[in-house]
Amino acid sequence: MVASSTPTRSTVVCTTGGTTSTEFVMPTIENDRDGVPTGIARAADGTTYVAGLGVYAGQSRIYKVGPNGPEAWVSGLTNVVDLAVAPNGDLIALTYTPGYIGNPPQPSKVLKIDPATKAVTEIPTGDKVIMGAGLDVNRNGQILGVSRSGSAARRRFLGRC
């Protein structure tokens, strides 16, 4: 599955064997001028999670995709740009900045979300991540991220799940 956005609709599509089909259209959030899908991750049990960016503090949501389409799963987050699933099943989310996108950007946050309770816990990074753009979790639970530093992108070890 791939998340994409156009000026009129934000969709998640599935591509199989050269054929692309719309999996679902992202829900519209009231007063959200930039609710685009930004991250997608699939858990070992087949559950798919999709992050919606949201521009303002608290507008970013993570959707859980079920047989009837997406449902808001965790809300009240800010500027979530990527998702990954840890080996233990926790969902890891990366924020671009924890506040309104402005100057100077505040350090990004790495969040751990328990799939059973939806509890959100920040994973300390020592404010090393500025303008986080992507992350991955390896099989040892190490969180790796890509962030911008000056004019270059950097890959960093961010912590452990």
The DSSP letter of residue 106 is: P
Task: Work out the widest C-alpha separation in the chain, in whole angstroms.
Answer: 44
Per-domain residue ranges of the chain = 27-160
pLDDT of residue 20: 66
Average pLDDT score over residue span 124-146: 86
Structure-token pair, residue 96: 């671009």
Structure-token pair, residue 27: 């829900």
Please count the other Cβ atoms lying within 10 Å of the Cβ belonging to residue 97: 21
**Where is mean pLDDT largest: 60-74, 95-109, 116-130?**
116-130
Query: Please, are residues 43 and 60 in contact by the beta-carbon 8 Å criterion?
Result: no
Query: Please, are residues 81 and 62 in contact by the beta-carbon 8 Å criterion?
Result: no
pLDDT of residue 107: 86
Find out if CATH 2.130.10.150 is the number for domain 27-160: yes
Query: Please, are residues 133 and 147 in contact by the beta-carbon 8 Å criterion?
Result: yes
**pLDDT band with cut points at 50, 70 and 90 for residue 106:** confident
**pLDDT band with cut points at 50, 70 and 90 for residue 114:** very high
Question: Which residues lie below 8 Å from residue 97, measured CB to CB, with a gap of 6+?
Answer: 78, 79, 105, 106, 107, 108, 131
What would the pLDDT profile of 37-96 be if each residue is shown by its tens digit?
888 899 998 888 999 887 778 888 899 987 777 788 999 998 899 999 999 999 999 998
Burial of 121 (0-12, 13-18, 19+ CB in 10 A): exposed
